[in-house]
Amino acid sequence: MQYRKLGYTDIDVSVICLGTMTFGEQNTEAEAFAQMDYAFEQGVNFFDTAELYSIPPKAETYGVTETIIGKWLKARGRRHEIILGSKIAGPGEDWLPHIREGKTRYDRHSIESALNDTLRRLNTDYLDLYQLHWPERHTNFFGKLGYTPTQDDCFTPVAETLAVLHDQVKAGKIRHIGLSNETPWGVMSFIKAAEQLNLSRIVSVQNPYSLLNRSYEIGLAEISWREHCGLLAYSPLGFGVLSGKYLNGARPPGARLTLFPDYTRYSLPAAEAATQKYVALARQQGLEPAQMALAFVNSRPFLTSTIIGATTQKQLKSNIDSIHLDLPADVVEEIEMIHNLYPNPSP
């Protein structure tokens, strides 16, 4: 396994991070335990979760993933060996009525209550990383394009949110803070507030990044590099699309897009055309398409960790093994050629 520093801290996190959003939905508790056992044995010391999980979000599985991880931590006694990150869900009145009635504000009440519930479910008294899952304000995330200013966009001031998180750091409940699904404006606003008010600084940004969505490179990559708040890349396989298993309309039994066909972000025509090219390139080079896609993400200089997910042990092993793959220069050149033909088909 390879390791990189988490932001400006002295914490070494594995370049492969275990994503857990399938625990309690596509994976049983026993399967989740097996995944965590195997990942840990392979040197993965970084686990990522969220109060929102399992996915897709629904009231009956709210918090289930954290509960499963908490049981594993208690059973294995490895809390001190795991870098553990979770997230507070943002507002979502139209799709998250079961989480604070969908009216989350990043204020003291919401953050403190959500954090305390997360700690209880995880059987721990602290988190290594606590992240805001998406912005409270009206802006672009989850693949949204275009920007329409909203005159009545009343959101908790960044300085106020940061002060509350800083208090949790001082209280010992969290060690460090991060953002997720953020924009360059949002990231720099948190960095500026921390500098001006002498508050805790963000150490990471968890955003989508893959061969099908390299939009992070446009503005956020430079911020990650210069400000020491590296990318935690989620959906590095585009919901598994870059493995090639969904090409030509295939829908394998039990696979995510088979079970949840509304998740179309990485399955639009341009994304399918790009995927055909990437998969063909991998096979021409004797590589597994999924491993090639992950190896590309792993190699980015602005990346801290690649968040993988799997529903089977075979997938998990393959994804973790991507850390051992160094892509030859000619393969990277071919990847760039495909990217130029199909730039960011899944924003």
The token pair at 236 is 């590095």
Q: Which two tokens stand for residue 234?
A: 């989620």
8 Å CB contact between 260 and 334: no
DSSP string covering 95-128: T-TTTGGG---SSHHHHHHHHHHHHHHTT-S-EE
Q: CA of 157: how far to CAs of 1, 107, 137, in Å? A: 40, 9, 10
Q: Please report the DSSP string for 273-316 in residue order.
A: HHHHHHHHHHHHTT--HHHHHHHHHHT-TTEEEEEE--SSHHHH
Q: Give per-residue burial for 104-124: e unless 16+ CB within 10 Å, then b.
A: bbbebebbeebbeebbebbbb
Match 């995880």 to its residue by tokens. Answer: 122
Say whether 258 sits in a helix, a strand or coil: helix
For the question of residue 53 being annotated catalytic, the response is: yes
Residue tagged active-site, from 3, 53, 216, 246: 53
Bridge partners (DSSP) of residue 17 are 307
Q: Rounded to an integer, what distance in angstroms lies between the CA atom of residue 194 and that of residue 197? A: 5
- Identify whether the C-beta of residue 46 lies closer than 8 Å to the C-beta of residue 78: no
Q: How far is CA 310 from the centre of its chain?
A: 14
Strand partners, 208: 234
Give the catalytic positions in this structure: 53
